[in-house]
Structure 1
Amino acid sequence: MATPPTRQSLLHLYSSMLRTSQSFSSYNFRQYFVRRTKSTFREIQNETDPAKLSAFYDEKTKELAALKRSAIVNQLYGGWRLVVEDQKPSKEKSNS
């Protein structure tokens, strides 16, 4: 039986997936993968079964590799930025 992944390795996988999700150039893809990563890891957060944790870790490691490849392709063919992305905080001038 394989040893279950440590808490530190799961946290490292989580941060790697979030970092890769943030590297998508398309706003919609970026937001989708960030939400999906957070919800997936939130579901497994309180799991204690070593077999389930090992299966989850292996599956998400493979998914991370696919996510990295997808992010690279998305960066190559990103397209236009959306209006939502271009919003910047406005600086109001005071009349003093």
Structure 2
Amino acid sequence: MDGLIAIQGGAAGILAAAVMLVLTGRLVPLSVLRDVQHQRDTWQEAHRESEAARAEERAQTRELLEVARVADHVLTSLPRPGEVGHGVAGADADAAR
């Protein structure tokens, strides 16, 4: 009879330990674990795609800024109306002969 009580106490201890593990989140069903892993993998893939899109956007922005710098340089180097030797204001009747 004492052996039966010891076995029941051991079984109750194991059951209590299992319940505590479930309640603290250390013991979860395999289906829940797989669902969480699938969600993690899905979010990681979404993050990778997002970072790739951001890298492409940064590259395009750099390229557009370079084009803008070149266009600014070209536009500032063009002669302005009224400068000597250009347009009507710079025309000299004696120089044309």
Same fold (TM over 0.5): no
Structure whose alpha-carbon radius of gyration is higher: 2
Query: Relative contact order (C-alpha < 8 Å, sep 6+): which is higher?
Result: 1
**Greater share of residues in helix:** 2
